[in-house]
A and B are shown apart, each in its own frame.
Chain A
Amino acid sequence: MLKGRIVRIVLAARLQESSVLQYPIASNLLLSGVLVAFLCLTGCEEDVAGPSGVDAPFSMYGILNPELRTQTVLVAPVEDLLVPESGGALDAVVTSTDLGSGTTYAWRDSVVANATGQLDHIYWADFTPEYGSRHRVEAARSDGLQSSVEVNIPEPVRIDENDPGSRILTVNVSAPSDFSLIRVDAIYGVRFYDKFEPGTPCSTPVKHYAFPYKGAEIKTNDGWRIKLNLFIHYETMRSYYHDDVLADIDDLRFRNPSTDGLALMSLKLDLTVGNPEWNLPEGVSIPNALGHPNILSNVENGYGFVGGGYDEDAPIYPSYRAIRDTPFFDFMQRAGGDYCLGTIEDSEG
C-alpha cells in the first residue's frame, strides 16, 4: 500500500515535469496500437491438424495355431478416429491360403466388444494348419486395397530334462527348424507339511505357482536350453502359501524351517512356441512398448502381426538328489525320505 502511494506520487511528479511525451500523443498511440492489433488478429483463427493418415487399409493380429481347430485373426481398419462413429460391418474380405497345399479358406467376421466397450472385428476360419506349414492371410477392401501377411507354423518341439542331481535342472527344448520361445513358465505344485503332525499334509490343498523364465533361455544349435533353479522361489512360494492357505487355518503356521515347510508335489514347464518371426526384441516390455507399430510388425501394407505357434507343457521330475539340494529336500528327508517321490503329481495345469 505504501509503495503504491509512492509510485503514484512519483507518477504525478513526472506528469508535471513531462515535456517530451505528452499524454494525448501516448493515448493516441495506444489507441492506434490496440485498434491495429484487434483488426489484424480477430480474423486469424487457426485450426489444429488432425491425424496425418496413411494408405494402409488394415491392421491384423492373431496366431495360427496347429493345435486349434478354429483360427482367429483380428482385422481392424486403420482410421482417423480413436472411437469410430458406428460399429457396422467391416468392408473387408479375409481369406487365407496354405502355400504348401494351395488350399484356400474363407474367413468369417464376428463383432466382439473389447475391454473398453468398443467393437472389434475378429475373423475366424475352421481349419487346423499343419506343423511346419506356411500360410498367407489377406484382408481386402472393396476398393482393391489390401493388407496381407505370410505365416510360418513352427515344427513340434521335443523337451528333454537333464538332471545333474543338484538344485539346478537343465531342460532342452529342440525342433528340426528354428523357433522362438514366447513364454516360459515353471509351475510348482506345493503343499504344507509339518514333521510333528504327519497327517497334516494330506489335509492341506496343493497350490500351484508359476514363475516366468522368459529371458533366461539360452540358444543352442537345435533350440533352447532353460535352467530351472529349484531353490530360488521357495521363500516366495512359502509366503504365498501362507497368505493363500494357512492364514485361514487357525492351527497351522510356518514356524520352524527345520520342522515344517513346503512339500514339492509337482513341477511343470509351460511354454509358448512361436515361429522365428514372433520374437520380441530385448528390452521391450509388455504390453506398454509392445503396442508400438514398429514392434512385431509383419503385415504388408498394413500394421500388426500374425504369427504361428502353439502352447506346450511338460512335467518335470526332479531326482531325489536334486530335491535334497533345496528347502523341499530338507523337509522331506526328515519326513521319511520317500514322501515327495511317492506322491508327486503329474500335473494339475
Chain B
Amino acid sequence: MTRAIRVVIAKPGLDGHDRGAKVIARALRDAGMEVIYTGLRQTPEQIVEVALQEDADVIGLSILSGAHNHICPRLVTLLREKGLDDVLVVVGGIIPDADVPRLEQLGIGGVFQPGTPMQAISQFIQSRVRHSESAAT
C-alpha cells in the first residue's frame, strides 16, 4: 500500500492572512493527504526544517504580501543545501503574472493564483508526486 502524500503548508513572511492556507490544508487533507500546517510567520529556514523532520513530499507556501520574490529563492536554495531537491514546492496567493515564469525557473513546481479551484491544486500535487515516484522506481 502506498503511503499518503505528505504536505507541509506554510505561511512565510510577516503577513497573517491565513484563510487560503487553512482552506487548502483542509482540502488536501480531505483529498487523502497528510497535512502539516506550520502556522504563521515562518522563516524559510524553519519551513525547510519542518519539511525535513516530517519527510515531506510537498511544501505549499501561501504568500499574499508581494514578498514571494525574496522568500522563494531563499527557500529553494536551502532545500538544495539540505539535499531536499526532490520536494515539490508550490506557491499560492497574490502572484502577478509577470512573476510566474521567474518562480518556475527557480524550481517552483506550481504557482496558483486567486480563483484556482482546490481540486485543481490537489490533482496537480497528486499527478506530480505520483509521477516522480514512478520515475524513481
Q: Do A and B bind each other?
A: no
- A contact set with B: CB distance below 8 Å: none
- B contact set with A: CB distance below 8 Å: none
